[in-house]
Amino acid sequence: MSVASGPEPVPHYDTKWWGWGDAGKRAELSAGARERLREELGIDPAAVSPPAPLESFELAEASPVPGPVVAAVGREFVFDGLEDRLRHAAGSGYPDLVRLRQGAISDAPDAVVLPADAAQVAAVLEACTREGVAVVPFGGGTSVVGGVDPVRGEHSTLISLDLRRLKLVELDATSLTARLGPGLRGPEAETALAGLGTTLGHYPQSYEYATIGGFAATRSAGQASCGYGRFDDMVTAIELQAPTGAMRTLQTPHTAAGPSLRELVVGSEGTLGVITEVTCRVHQAPELEAYEGWMAADFAAGREIVRTLAQRGEAPDVLRLSDEEETRQSLAMSATDGLAKRALDTYLKVRRREGGCLIICGWKGLREHVRRRRSTAAKVLRRGGAVALGSRAGDSWQRGRYEGPYLRDELLGAGVFVETLETSHTWSRLEHLYTEVGSAIRQALAAGGTAGIVMCHISHAYADGASLYYTFLARSRAGQEIEQWREVKTAACEAIVRAEGTITHHHAVGRDHAPHMEAEVGALGIDALRAVKERLDPAGIMNPGKLLP
């Protein structure tokens, strides 16, 4: 069974060019959030700076796109207007958004090219190789690590290869696999699969705008990863169009035929070629979804609960543990939705508990299966000393799980430096990593003359370890926002490397993390990746400046 959408004749933009998501949607700062900004960061949330007008941008003059590149897709699918170029000049990281809001982006793709299928992708890459044109594959533009920056390298002309027209959905209901086009946004894929009685089950925070191709290219991890797995766990076959030809892996549950070429393509971030098709495992659509909240005594106790659940194979599909600071700030900043702070304090005191760390659990599946798994997990949670908060806390999290990027836009407008980063380690070394990275962020903020709020949560747990996801806020240094970001980001990354954590658990490498890749894979590993790139992309046109230092 298959579902396919027709090609769009022109780009249709339904998102903000200067921020995140739906152009008509904004997040409202709650009274608690405004109070925290005043008391802890010394920021007046009413003093908002609007983004610069679109007309204020002065992009570098576009180099002409060679005729053979234009001919590969047709003139009607090559766009070089100001908004087209600007929307493909940056991702969604803090430096990107600061530059967009300030009208400070100058370099941009010379044109945006929209191929219709894999054959046109091949024709574009062949022409770009011959003409010396750099190519940046573009999906949802949600990279937070500089993954779509228009880095030209040695090339005078650069195009953004927007894959929005590649939207195949073909289900093998017997095998429970689906062939998916790279240009499908998360909701488009889920809607099509739901119509066929199935689900992919991949829900990162970028879900609403990120694409299937982006999920594969960056080794994305969704919020239900404990149940459905990371995206790389879901991929059974993949097709890559490289400048030197096409490479398709065999669709099979497992193979012992040498090193995995599928794994080589997944996570390649557009540096080897363009992902033109992804085959994924899917699941029967869930009969029931249930979410609930618990309160652990502290972060250490919460970690032990999460570890026990993961190692016994009893983890909920969604399992998230906030540390004390994230719990405190989340409750203080929350609106009236969910458990009100005063009622929660009273509830916990009755149970001889003050404060603690919030755990969110979520299950999906057959009704009886969900009931049985909830009961089993509840026993582990209670034995670990956690107090049940009920479904209202879980439902509140579920309803607001995609609101964070909208809230970030509001904070940026109020002069808040707000950034995230993530890493992971084994259970035996997770506490050390947690302490070292948190301390590095706080010290870097203090050295820059700003007080900060540093929060952390675990959102992906395994039998041998877990992820750590940091969010930090501070007053931005007006006129020095990028320098401030670089100071803190560098300090955090260096702390991760010293503690031997991964430089990225699910945000990918992009441009921001490339300097730390050698620490991750070693000098010989870098040489091996370069050798592969030279074979697949000898002219070096594919996404220059990313992944490899």
Identify the CATH number of the domain in which residue 203 sits.
Answer: 3.30.465.10
In a domain, 260, yes or no: yes
pLDDT grade, residue 455 (50/70/90)? very high
Could you tell me if residue 500 is inside a domain? no
One domain, residues 333 and 236? no
Least confident interval from 30-39, 101-110, 169-178, 517-526: 30-39
| pLDDT over 80 (residue 343) | no
Q: Is 469 a catalytic residue?
A: yes
User: What are the pLDDT digits (tens) for 372-404?
Assistant: 999 999 999 999 999 999 999 999 999 999 999
Strand partners, 235: 280
Quick one: which H or E segment has residue 97? helix 94-102
Scan for tokens 């106790």, then name that residue.
301
pLDDT at 339: 47
Q: Which residues contact 503 (CB under 8 A, 6 or more apart)?
A: 423, 493, 496, 497, 509, 513, 516, 517, 519, 520
In a domain, 345, yes or no: yes
- Quick check: is 298 in a domain? yes
Which structure tokens are listed for 191? 């809607």
Question: Is there a single domain that holds both residue 179 and residue 265?
Answer: yes
b/e per residue, 320-356, with b = 16+ CB within 10 A? bbbbbbbbbbbbebbeeebbeeeebeebbeeeebeeb
For the chain, how many structural domains are there in total?
Answer: 2
Which helix (DSSP H) or strand (DSSP E) does residue 111 occupy? strand 111-113
DSSP, collapsed to helix, strand or coil, labels residue 486 as: helix
Q: What is the mean pLDDT of residues 236-256?
A: 96
Q: What is the pLDDT of residue 232?
A: 97
Percent helix, strand and coil across the chain, each rounded to 5? 40, 20, 40
Average the pLDDT over 341-366 and give the result: 76
Q: How would you list the strands of the sheet with 177-180, edge to edge?
A: 2-3, 169-172, 177-180, 274-281, 235-242, 245-248
Same domain, 261 and 318: no
Closest to 299 (Cα-Cα) out of 404, 454, 85: 454
> How many H helices and E strands in the chain?
19, 19
Asked if residue 274 and residue 175 are part of one domain, the reply reads yes
Phi and psi angles of residue 188, each rounded to the nearest 5 degrees, phi first: -65, -45
Q: What is the CATH number of the domain that holds 376?
A: 3.30.70.3450
Q: Using one digit for the tens of pLDDT, what is the confidence trace for 536-548?
A: 999 999 999 999 9
Residues of the chain above pLDDT 70, percent = 94
Q: Are residues 321 and 268 in the same domain?
A: no
- Whether residue 233 is found in the same domain as residue 247: yes
- pTM recorded for the entire structure: 0.94
Residue 406 vs residues 117, 295, 411, 488, 533: alpha-carbon distances, Å: 33, 27, 9, 23, 37
300 in a structural domain: yes
- What DSSP assignment string belongs to 288-343? EEEEEEEEESSHHHHHHHHHHHHHTT---SEEEEE-HHHHHHHHHH--SSSS-HHH
Q: Is the pLDDT of residue 241 over 70?
A: yes
The answer on 305 and 272 residing in a single domain is: no
Determine the average pLDDT of the residues in 105-109: 94
* pLDDT classification of 355: cutoffs 50, 70, 90: confident
Gap between the Cα atoms of 324 and 322, Å rounded: 7
Residues 6+ apart with CB under 8 A from 84: 11, 111, 112
- Same domain assignment for residues 245 and 328: no
The residue among 284, 302, 318 that closes a domain is 284
Range 477-495 average pLDDT: 97
Say whether pLDDT at 3 is over 80: no
Residues 315, 345 share a domain: yes
Look up the domain containing 295 and give its range.
288-401
Cα gap 489→146, rounded to integer Å: 13
Out of 228, 434, 469, 470, the active site residue is: 469
Amino acid 330: pLDDT = 87
Of 210, 425, 471, the closest CA to residue 325 belongs to 471
For 388-403, the DSSP string reads EEEHHHHHHHHHTTT-
Sheet holding 157-162, edge to edge: 78-79, 111-113, 157-162, 133-138
pLDDT tens-place string over residues 418-448: 999 999 999 999 999 999 999 999 999 999 9
- Among 256, 284, 312, the domain-final residue is 284
pLDDT, position 32? 86
Structure token digits, residue 358: 């919030």
Q: pLDDT tier at 260 (50, 70, 90 boundaries)?
A: very high
**Cα(319)–Cα(364) distance, rounded to whole angstroms?**
12
pLDDT band for position 12 (cuts 50, 70, 90): confident
340 domain residue, yes or no:
yes
Contact 472, 494 (CB under 8 A): no
Residue 283's pLDDT is 97
What pLDDT is attached to residue 447? 95
Phi/psi for 370 (5° steps) reads: -60, -45
Q: Which of 27-31, 242-246, 468-472, 512-516 has the lowest mean pLDDT?
A: 27-31
199-227 per-residue burial string, b: 16 or more CB within 10 A, e: under 16: bbbbbbbbbbbbbbbbbbbbbbbbbbbbb
pLDDT at 338: 43
- 373 with 392, same domain: the answer is yes
Give the DSSP per-residue string, 155-215. -SEEEEEE-TT---EEEETTTTEEEE-TT-BHHHHHHHHHTTTEE-----TTTTT-BHHHH
> Residue 211 pairs with which residues in a beta bridge?
185
Region for 254 from its dihedrals, namely left if φ exceeds 0, alpha if ψ lies in -120 to 50, beta otherwise? beta
- Domain assignment present for 250: yes
446 or 451: whose pLDDT is higher? Answer: 446
Among 254, 284, 314, the domain-final residue is: 284
Q: What local confidence, expressed as pLDDT, does residue 377 receive?
A: 98
Rounded to the nearest integer, the mean pLDDT of the chain is 94
Instruction: Assess if residue 14 is contained within a domain.
Output: no
Q: How confident is the model at residue 333 (pLDDT cuts 50, 70, 90)?
A: confident
For residues 353 and 368, membership in a common domain is answered with yes
Mean pLDDT of 444-462: 95
Q: Looking at the structure, do residues 265 and 298 belong to the same domain, yes or no?
A: no
Identify any residues that bridge with 294 across adjacent strands, giving them in sequence order.
359, 388
